[in-house]
Amino acid sequence: MPKRSYSVLFKNKIKRFKKVTNVDPDKSVSIRSFLIGSISHGISEVKNVLESEDLFSTIDCLKKLGVKIKKSGKKNYLIYGKGLGSLYIKKNSLLNCGNSGTCARLLIGILSTTPSIEVRIKGDKSLNKRNMIKLIKIMNEFGAQFHPKNKFNLPLKMISSAIPTGIVYKTGVSSQLKSAAILASTNAYGQSTVVENKNFESRDHTENILLKNSNILKIRKEKNKSIIKISGKGHLECLKLSVFGDPSSAAFLAAITMLTPNSYLKIKNVGLNPKRTGFYRLMKMHGAKIIYEKVRRNNTNELVGDICIKSSKLKPIRASAKIYPSMPDEYPISFIIAALTPGVHVFKGISDLSNKESSRAYEIKKILNQIGIKCKLTRDQMKIFGTNKIKRKSIKVSSLGDHRICMSSAVLSLVTSCPVHIRGFETVNTSSPSFLKTIKALGGKFEIKKAS
């Protein structure tokens, strides 16, 4: 069934607050746990799963590939793993990844080296626009084929490699491409090597989940790079993990707190992996009052803790290209924060934002221009001339299929009282289904309008 479409109108400034809250479970870890659980041996148990549209798309794809998945409690699931190379689907069947780039890229990685797979893969309108050329080139190295030739966006037909062999892959800024290469390597003959530049290390949840399989994956740290060695055709142990709160979704709540005078928020049990917390480091470097409490490691070597935020007076932000891999989802909200902070803000190394659910820097620029905020955008840099004297006029945000643009626009209204009408707000359910409920708990007001 198609998703129910609706828009949301924000027009009231949020009042000061002092609250303690939770945030939705991490989407990246939720999706990865189901994909990796499906190719492991035995029954994997995953608790506190993000029950979002993206995860349900992933579950639907895996069930079509013969994986038994059973709900065992509130947000808890059992995944009956089939082992490496054992997924199967009838020839020319269709897998629909919905809005999830994580599902699409990582699942293609798994299937590219799975024997006798010939499948059609598609997404929703937003995902189908995203360029897959880098992913296709990686999977071509393993021997997988994609049709039509010279077409680099979904829908595509994929034919898996008959005899996949290990490759050497040098990563860029995308954790999804790195994860796809690692997962494809697990079922390739021989050994694969993934080389990651120390200055551009992306999120490493896939590696952390796989690390207990020392026969499959080993990581060696060198001065300027990490060397990830993956031995194919091994035996993956089943998973037992509990998903922590999503630091990317928490960033939007942190932004509201920083920009609302005399406010305080504690967000409990959030993932604090250093490769995911670039947003918090960047904000702290420029004056944000953010501290971590009760920090500990969980059973997949992930740092978890509470994030405490106070209202803050920020300095002009300078974001180098090096920080991009640790905060790709937080740039839209960072642009909003910059726009409302006096001074000239510069964000470098952002070219990959054009290949997200929307062209994110361009879309935020359009929104900010509507209230008189000057921005200069090039292919790889955004310069924002922030001010606390904005034009308080109505803003319209069209339906883009981008949850982070919707959430950023909501924050803009909540901290300025500019009326913002956001169409296609249902896309927020792909990552943060509790977003509106949490905003209401903080004292924010809004109106939900069904699509006509």
Per DSSP bridges, beta strands 303-310 and 289-297 are antiparallel
First to last CA, the chain: 18
What whole-number distance in Å separates Cα of residue 57 and Cα of residue 205?
20
Alpha helices in 294-388 (DSSP H): 331-339, 360-369
Residue bearing tokens 């995911």: 276
What whole-number distance in Å separates Cα of residue 402 and Cα of residue 199?
28
What whole-number distance in Å separates Cα of residue 347 and Cα of residue 405?
17
What whole-number distance in Å separates Cα of residue 392 and Cα of residue 420?
10
**Chain centroid to CA 452:** 30
- DSSP conformation letters of 153-189: SSSEEEE--SS-B--EEE--S-HHHHHHHHHHHTTSB
Instruction: Tell me, yes or no, if 306 is annotated catalytic.
Output: no
3 state SS of 12: coil
Backbone angles phi, psi at 275, to 5 degrees: -85, 5
Count, residues in the chain: 452
What whole-number distance in Å separates Cα of residue 61 and Cα of residue 67?
9
Which one is catalytic: 26, 54, 124, 329?
Answer: 329
Cis peptide before 419 (omega within 30 of 0): no
Joined tokens for residue 283: 């904000």
Beta-bridge partners for 42: 81
Joined tokens for residue 252: 């939007």
What whole-number distance in Å separates Cα of residue 280 and Cα of residue 126?
28
CB 348 within 8 A of CB 319: yes
What whole-number distance in Å separates Cα of residue 371 and Cα of residue 245?
33
Catalytic residues: 329
